[in-house]
Structure 1
Amino acid sequence: MTALKTLALALLMVTGAASAQQAPPQAHVTTIMTKPLPDYPGKEAVMLMVEYPPGSVDPVHRHNADAFVYVLDGSIVMGVRGSKPVTLGPGQTFYEGPHDVHTIGRNASSTKPARFVVLLLKNKGAPVLVPAK
């Protein structure tokens, strides 16, 4: 009976460890506005509100757009391939070009949420985000 109890305890420990290693929470993205840009045929502006829960991490991606970030609350870490990551707080900005690969995007805090606005200038109808390697 002792071996059975040991096996049951080991199973509980493994199950608990697996659930503790869940993926970090994902960002919540809300489209605030989409606006065609008549002076730039084929282009549009998209404004997004991004909310990072504590510990949130983005996958590596690109926007194929000019992306302008403005931090409202909390602290975020942003980085593109070939550049050092930067930590930004309220009132600070970040720019990502149409050929950049966004390698780091995350909440700098594991206990506090962060919010920021993103303005994308992109091809009309193109996706906002494209996975990248």
Structure 2
Amino acid sequence: MMKVLALLGALTPAAALAHDAAGHGGSAPLPVVSDVMTKALKDYPGKEITLISVDYPPGTVEPIHHHDAHAVVYVLQGTIVMGVKGGREQTLKAGDTFYEGPDDIHTIGRNASQTEPAKFVVFILKDAKKPLVMLGL
């Protein structure tokens, strides 16, 4: 069974305030995240892999966040714009990839289109006891 997550608590009032505090305004839709799988890695005690699917409705803008993990994005549909603090903004289309490291702060995450949806998957390698996403950085 696929569990649907509210990325960054996207459907809570606190997240809406964080979204506004990040300078993105309250009118942009937030991503919809589905948990595809999580698996503990017995060869690497305390580590796990998580695979999530992310849907960006038209106009989606993410709040600034951090994963404290290795994350690889693979775009399935549409065009997205990604960037980390100190890095350059990248526009990605279907088939493109993007990497975030444990020390990166994800400062740019948005759907490049105001009319077309976008979708991507993210493979995350992280400490099992750490949260998937952290806000307020």
Instruction: Please classify the TM superposition score into its range, dividing by the shorter chain length.
Output: 0.7 to 0.9
1:24 correspondence with 2:28:
yes
Residue equivalent to 1:106: 110
Residue equivalent to 2:90: 86
Q: In structure 1, the residue corresponding to 2:60 is in which secondary structure?
A: coil
Residue equivalent to 1:67: 71
TM-score normalised by structure 2 residue count: 0.80
CA contact (8 A) 1:66 1:97 kept: yes
Task: Quote the Cα distance in structure 2 between the aligned partners of 1:130 and 1:47.
Answer: 17
Q: CA deviation at 1:126?
A: 1.4
1:131 correspondence with 2:131:
no
CA deviation vs aligned residue, 1:95-129 (integer Å, no higher than 9, x gap):
00000000000001000000000011000031110
Task: Quote the Cα distance in structure 2 between the aligned partners of 1:116 and 1:104.
Answer: 15
Q: In structure 1, the residue corresponding to 2:42 is in which secondary structure?
A: coil
CA deviation vs aligned residue, 1:70-112 (integer Å, no higher than 9, x gap):
0000000000000111000000000000000000000010000
Q: 1:58 aligns with which of 31, 39, 62?
A: 62
Kindly report structure 1 stretches of 4+ aligned residues shifted beyond 6 Å: none
Task: Quote the Cα distance in structure 1 between the aligned partners of 2:116 and 2:106.
Answer: 23
TM-score normalised by structure 1 residue count: 0.82
Letter in 1 for 2:64: V
Q: 1:118 aligns with which of 117, 122, 129?
A: 122
Task: Quote the Cα distance in structure 2 between the aligned partners of 1:118 and 1:111.
Answer: 23
User: Percent same amino acid among aligned pairs?
Assistant: 54
Larger Rg: 1
Superposed CA RMSD in Å reads: 1.0
Give unpaired runs (5+ residues) of structure 2: 1-24
Task: Quote the Cα distance in structure 1 between the aligned partners of 2:123 and 2:104.
Answer: 15
Task: Quote the Cα distance in structure 1 between the aligned partners of 2:43 and 2:97.
Answer: 26
* Count of matched residue pairs: 113
Task: Quote the Cα distance in structure 1 between the aligned partners of 2:129 and 2:57.
Answer: 28
Letter in 1 for 2:85: R
CA contact (8 A) 1:101 1:132 kept: no
CA deviation vs aligned residue, 1:38-71 (integer Å, no higher than 9, x gap):
1111000000000000000000000000000000
